[in-house]
Every structure is written in structure tokens, then in C-alpha cells.
Amino acid sequence: MTSVPRVLLRDGSSIPQLGFGVWQLGEADCVRLVGEALRIGYRSIDTAQLYGNEASVGQALRETDVLRSEITITSKLRNGAHRRDDALRAFDLTMQKLGLEQLDQFLIHWPVPEQDLYVEAWSTLIELQAQGRVRSIGVSNFDPVHIDRIVTASGVLPAVNQIELHPRYQQRGTRAFHQRHGIATESWSPLGPGTDAVAFWQQSGNPRGEPVLPDPTILAIAEKHRKSAAQVIIRWHLQQGLILFPKSAKPERIAENFDVFDFALDEQDIGSIAGMDRRGGKVGAQPAAFNFVF
């Protein structure tokens, strides 16, 4: 069985660098595909209250032979539950749906600056961690300014920040900030936006987004290594020390995305991908302006 490298977090726990994301997977598909991912060897699953499939992840966990202790489960607090009482209730519901005693990672999904409750949400996550109900706490879609604010208020740094990150949007500034503070970076939409993701972002007023997988730079590197475009991009994230959870609804692609430990990108490949970063490469909303409450 392939052993995936783990990233050590500032709280002493660790997470496999490569996992499986379940955004936009419907309930039945989610049960089947998480089961498939676990059979292939994935040991980290990324869900969220927003995704509506925590119960399916829970069912897949009950049905698998893989030990609970071997699997890292991440979920995220929804934007409409930042107040302490709401956050505690929402967390309880997550645990009920997942059927877990302890969650491995719980993140604040978005800062929602207009609502201005993310500091209260952060204090509540600290409370849950102190009670032993969650192992690692972190944030998602936080800009450095949002992180500075929760740290000033609480004295506690997040273990991770999960942000949009792919070859067209490499987030060098935020990654350098994370490195200075010992925060691990998790890449969302690591392969670049898929059709469904672009549709989602267009609905909320973010109409940009070119696919990254067919980029000629990626295709040339893929041909050189006799690997697929997705495998090249996943390798890039791994070699950058990033944590990622590529998603696919196709079992053969889920297997392909895990088959990335028998080759390595060289310096020239890394240099070429560095040149793909674009100012307008972001597809999802800017955290400072995303105030959608769900």
C-alpha cells in the first residue's frame, strides 16, 4: 500500500499530504466514492457543513474496513454559524452526521468580514479543541489580515489555512506569511477550476476562470514524464510541501490522482510551472469580499 507523506502541524498532530475532497458530490455518490478512495489508499477526507454530504462521509466511514485512527477527517463551520451558540450547535450536528467522537480538523470556512463574527467563531473552535472534541483547528479563505486579527484576539495560531491554490494562482505572499508563522497551507481546487466549480463561482458573481489542466506547459511536462496533466499538478503541490484534496466523481481518476509517488518533477519543470502564475488566475471569490451566508 502506498504510504503518503504526512505534514506535521504546529499542534503536534499530522495530516496526509494527499487526500480526497468531496465538494459537489451528491449523497449517494459521496458514500460510494469515499469508499472507493479509502480502498485505493486515501486516508484524508475533506468535507464541510456547506457540502451537504457529511452524513454520507459518515456512512462511508462506518462501511469501511480501514481503522478510524488511520483516517483524517476535516469539516468546516458554515458562514451562518459564527456566533458561539450557533457554532457549538453546528459542530454537534457535524459530529452526529459524521458519527464521530472526535474530529481531526475543524476550520472556519470563510471569514465573512461584513458579518464580523469570525473572532467569536475562532474562540469557539479554541474551546472545542480544549474539550478534546477536535484535534486541530484552523481556518479557510483567511487573508493574512484576518489571521492577524484572530491571533491578536486569542493568542492562538491556526494549524492550517485552506485557500484557493493552483499553478495559475500560486499565492506566494500568503504562503510566505504561513511559513513565517508555522501555519500549514492546504490547496483548494488544486487542479484549477472544474466546470461545476466555475458554474458555482459565476452564480456568486465571479465570472473568471480558465481551466488549468489543458495548459500547454502542463501538457508538455506530462508528456515528458508519461504522466497525466492532473498527476503533474498534484506532484507540483506535493513538492511545494502543500496539502491537497483533489476531487473527482470518476473512480479511474480518483485512482490516477493517487498514482503520483513514482516520479518527480525536476527543477526545470518547477521553473516552468512557476511562470504560470497570473494576477487574474483566481477563480473563487476574494475572501475580503465574500459575505455570502449559508
Task: Give the residue closest to ligand NAD by C-beta.
Answer: 194
User: Does 189 engage in binding with ligand NAD (CB under 6 A)?
Assistant: yes
Identify the bridge partners of residue 75 per DSSP, sorted by sequence position: 106
Please tell me whether residue 111 binds ligand NAD under the rule CB under 6 A.
no
257-264: Cβ within 8 A, 24+ apart: 257/18, 257/230, 257/231, 258/2, 258/18, 258/37, 258/40, 258/41, 258/42, 259/231, 260/18, 260/227, 260/231, 260/234, 260/235, 261/2, 261/4, 263/225, 263/227, 263/231, 263/235, 264/235, 264/239
- Examine residue 197 and tell whether it contacts ligand NAD (CB under 6 A): yes
Q: Which helix (H) or strand (E) holds 59?
A: helix 54-63
**Catalytic amino acids?**
51
Q: Which x/- pattern over 8-47 shows residues binding ligand NAD (rule: CB under 6 A)?
A: -------------xxx----------------------x-
Output 90 or 213, the one with its CB closest to ligand NAD.
213
CB-CB contact of 17 with 7 (8 Å)? yes
Q: Does the protein bind ligand NAD through residue 58 (CB under 6 A)?
A: no
For residue 230, state whether it binds ligand NAD (rule: CB under 6 A).
Answer: yes
> Taking CB under 6 A as the rule, does residue 253 contact ligand NAD?
yes
Within positions 121 to 180, which residues make up the interface with ligand NAD, using CB under 6 A?
140-141, 162
281 touches ligand NAD by CB under 6 A? no
Site residues (CB under 6 A) for ligand NAD? 21-23, 46, 109, 140-141, 162, 188-191, 194-197, 213, 228, 230, 245-248, 253, 256-257
